[in-house]
């Protein structure tokens, strides 16, 4: 069963925090806090969800939220956190995920820098040393896929620099670290974009899904940055089959892996399966029309998103139903042309 019913458990908050509510968006600059497990909270600022993990090894933040909400988010993290902010993990390069990087990273500090500082003082002062203050050193490391860093410094109009940029990047399929529990940062190629990762907290059994999973609307397929409909479906299948689990036996009532989407309520494997089925249904309809020689205008008229408008669609805003259908069509056509070119090359 979907975890939206847990909304009743919103943590009471004060001052800069939004009061508990039943799904309505908090006012700009306010932060809503939902306890997910004993050590992980879902914070929502300007409708964007971020995750905060606290433990004996310090605090880990997954995504930094939009720039406009950075100060409120930092205040919320400081209220919740039992230790210093030691890591920030960016699940993608979108502004709503990385906008708060500079403010939040600058407020934390690097465990590696602290270890080096202690070791250096121990050598210089015959073992007598003191720890640097919070925020000393280089700030909290920002972990991200290498393509996130590339986008933030090369995209037209990009204005990110200094603490706003990832400091620990990777190109392999998975980046692993340990902070109070094993944490896996898993690359899901060419889904929303070419930079998507999801984060699994192993002991807590919580997954932060980033832009790959947005149950409030049709998935955003960023064709300009390597996104594709096939990659989106593959990413959702990867989540369902290898990263998110339904606990058995079902009668124990143990629930399943808790999933934090980029927007919307706390979710679970049932929500992911429903979302994947919706996306694959629209893809299959558009694919069918393409294979039968229908034009793009004909496909739009046939309304391949029929049956899903009420839950996921929109006729206004920055991502409409029409935008999604167009992205699916262009993605499938590009894949079709690519396969045709490969066959001609082999011949």
Q: Where are the domains of the chain?
A: 3-275
Tell me the pLDDT band of 255, cut-offs 50, 70 and 90: confident
pLDDT digits (tens, 9 = 90+) for 171-186: 999 999 999 999 999 9
Q: Are 185 and 174 in contact (CB under 8 A)?
A: yes
Tell me the pLDDT band of 344, cut-offs 50, 70 and 90: very low
Which residues make Cβ contacts (< 8 Å) with residue 274, sequence separation at least 6?
none
Backbone angles phi, psi at 58, to 5 degrees: 110, -160
Residue 286 has pLDDT above 60, yes or no: yes
Round to whole Å and give the CA distance between 101 and 104.
5
Tell me the pLDDT band of 337, cut-offs 50, 70 and 90: confident
Q: Are 266 and 34 in contact (CB under 8 A)?
A: yes
Terminal-residue alpha carbon distance, the chain? 52
For the domain made up of 3-275, the CATH class stated in words is alpha beta
Q: Which of 17-26, 54-63, 177-186 has the lowest mean pLDDT?
A: 17-26
Residue 11 has pLDDT above 90, yes or no: no
Round to whole Å and give the CA distance between 166 and 63.
11
Round to whole Å and give the CA distance between 100 and 51.
13
Residue 6 has pLDDT above 80, yes or no: no
pLDDT score at 248 = 63
Cα-based distances in Å from 341 to 92, 194, 291, 297, 346: 31, 22, 17, 25, 9
**pLDDT higher at 15 or 321:** 321
């Amino acid at each position: 069963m979907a975890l939206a019913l847990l909304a009743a458990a919103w943590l009471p908050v004060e001052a800069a925090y939004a009061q508990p509510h039943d799904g309505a968006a908090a006012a700009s600059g306010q932060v809503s806090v939902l306890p997910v497990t004993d050590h992980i909270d879902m914070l929502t600022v300007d409708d964007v969800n971020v995750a905060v993990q606290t433990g004996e090894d310090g605090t880990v933040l997954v995504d930094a939220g939009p720039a406009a909400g950075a100060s409120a988010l930092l205040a919320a993290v400081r209220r919740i956190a039992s230790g210093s902010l030691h890591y920030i993990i960016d699940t993608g390069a979108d502004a709503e995920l990385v906008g708060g990087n500079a403010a939040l990273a600058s407020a934390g500090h690097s465990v590696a820098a602290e270890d080096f500082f202690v070791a250096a003082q121990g050598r210089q002062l015959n073992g007598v040393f003191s720890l640097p203050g919070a925020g000393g050193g280089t700030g909290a490391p920002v972990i991200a896929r290498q393509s996130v860093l590339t986008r933030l410094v090369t995209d037209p109009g990009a204005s990110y620099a200094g603490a706003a940029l990832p400091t620990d990047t990777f190109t392999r399929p998975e980046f692993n670290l340990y902070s109070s529990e094993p944490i896996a940062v898993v690359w899901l190629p060419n889904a929303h974009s070419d930079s998507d990762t999801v984060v699994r907290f192993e002991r807590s059994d919580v997954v932060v899904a980033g832009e790959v999973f947005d149950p409030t609307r049709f998935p955003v397929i960023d064709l300009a940055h390597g996104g594709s409909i096939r990659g989106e479906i593959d990413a959702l299948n990867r989540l369902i089959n290898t990263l998110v689990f339904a606990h058995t036996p079902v009668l124990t009532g143990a629930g399943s892996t808790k999933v934090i989407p980029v927007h919307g309520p706390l979710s679970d494997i049932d929500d992911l399966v429903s979302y994947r089925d919706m996306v694959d249904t629209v893809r299959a309809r558009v694919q069918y029309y393409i294979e039968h020689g229908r034009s793009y205008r004909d496909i739009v008229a046939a309304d391949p998103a029929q049956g899903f408008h009420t839950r996921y669609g929109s006729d206004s805003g920055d991502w409409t139903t029409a935008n999604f259908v167009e992205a699916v069509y262009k993605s499938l056509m590009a894949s079709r042309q690519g396969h045709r070119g490969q066959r001609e090359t082999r011949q």
